[in-house]
A = this chain, B = another copy of it.
Amino acid sequence: MQTPLKIAVVGSGLVGSLLAIYLKKAGHEVHVYDRSPDIRKITFSGRSINLAMSDRGWKALDGVGVGDAVREIAIPMDKRAIHLVDKLNYQQYGKDGESIYSISRGTLNRKMIDLAEAAGAEFYFEQKIWDVTLSDATLHIGETERGEWEDKKYDLVFGADGAFSRVRHRMQRQSMFNYSQEFLNMGYKELHIPANPDGSHKLDKHSFHIWPRGEYMLIALPNLDGSFTCTLFMPFEGENSFAELTNQESVTDFFEKNFPDSIEVIPMLTEDFFKNPTSTLVTMKCFPWTFKDKVALVGDACHAIVPFYGQGMNAGFEDITVLYQLIEKYGDDWQTVFSEYEKERKPNADAIAELSYRNFMEMSTKTADEKFLLQKRIEKHFSEKYPEKWIPLYSRVTFSDRPYTEALAIGDFQNEIMQKILQLENIEQIWDSEWVEQKILAALEQA
């Protein structure tokens, strides 16, 4: 379908490895570079959040025949387990049979590299790319930034090198390159719930566990070995912040008070807390994503988002699905492939960035708001009665491959309707009445 080219992929993460598999399918010679050692030969860093694979991710994997291999290391979660201070509630994610899938980032990354190597991609680890000459797709590689560099010329270069991409760094210096990076005043830290002695899970294995507390929260996602990877999200400064938790006692007190049922399942709490780094959360946007028919960015390198919708990897994988559709359509015309790719993906990347940021805002400010909880109750009630007329936003994002832009737009429209419904007199009493349903149906008709 395409004339075979020599292609470099910078970054051996999830999206880079998947891209390598697709490029091999298209018949190219593929070299994948990474500045880090081979992740298959080292222990992982203790700074990851478990992944939640959903429909867009699976579509990209199945599109190149590796979905089943990944399903082997995935655990379905069909619900949230909401740990309040004094009780535990469950909330189903979607319809029966709809789940998101917990996967350890390290395990998946190792698997993806194995699969890419099996497909014929060549991996070069501990190769530091300091700069890229865009006009002739040449990588500049060396031990140090100021030392000797070796030049490697390719036909095409893909930047799959994450939120702090070196490839993008060069593109940023071009005129008319729009760019923004915005850090949240919130960090996260990995913690660990080990398996029971018999290898079973200490908490329900098919739940995404969450301890929501307004401005901070704890989550836990299951691993294959019976353990859970936990992540504490919390502001850096102020009340209930990382800055407040400076010694073993304050950490223990904080968890005992705020996450009482977590204490017995996180035995290494204080050790892990002070051993593991506190990581930052950034939203990065840029445009353009490509340079002529020579260089293109994929995944976090062109759209890094905050993790509160669980869509970072899924959005990156969807880049590759779209890229391959365009390769099938335009063949050797890489110029058109690249320009159509960035044109199609950019608005969708912005939409999921917006949705992810809003989920952070929602979580940190609205979870205690009575009106908001009532709104969610009305939506759920109506959606169960009229499932074709009201697909919840979460399902549009998670259990669908329709564009993120569409999910955002319809979500905004649904929210507009709900704001009017919440104004109705005595809505607290009549929220599940026939009359309110008719009001919603009428509002939907007007669209």
Q: Which residues of A contact B (CB under 8 A)?
A: 146, 149, 175-183, 280
Closest chain B residue to A280, Cβ basis: B175
The distance from the CB of A180 to the nearest CB of chain B, in whole angstroms, is 4
The answer to whether A182 touches B178, judged by C-beta atoms less than 8 angstroms apart, is yes
Beta-carbon nearest neighbor of A181 in chain B: B179
Contact B176–A179 (Cβ < 8 Å)? no
Chain B, residue nearest A172 (CB): B181
List of B residues within 8 angstroms of A146 by Cβ: 146, 149
Inside 8 A of A149's CB, which chain B residues have their CB? 146
Q: B182 and A181: CB pair below 8 A?
A: no
Q: Is the CB of B183 within 8 A of A176?
A: yes
Query: Could you tell me the distance between the alpha carbons of A176 and B182 in the complex, rounded to whole angstroms?
Result: 8
Cα–Cα, bound, A46→B222 (Å): 63
B177, A181: Cβ atoms under 8 Å? yes
A133 shortest CB reach to chain B, Å:
13
Taking a contact as CB atoms under 8 Å apart, the answer to whether B177 and A180 are in contact is no
Those 3 A-B pairs whose CB atoms lie nearest each other, nearest first: A180-B180, A176-B183, A178-B182
Contacts of A181 in B (CB 8 A): 177-180
- Residues of B within 8 Å of A180, CB to CB, are 179-182
Q: How far is the CB of A160 from chain B (nearest CB, A)?
A: 20
Smallest CB gap from A173: residue in B = B164
Q: In chain B, what residue has the closest Cβ to A140?
A: B146
Bound CA span A179–B25, Å: 38
Chain B nearest CB, measured from A298 CB (Å)? 22
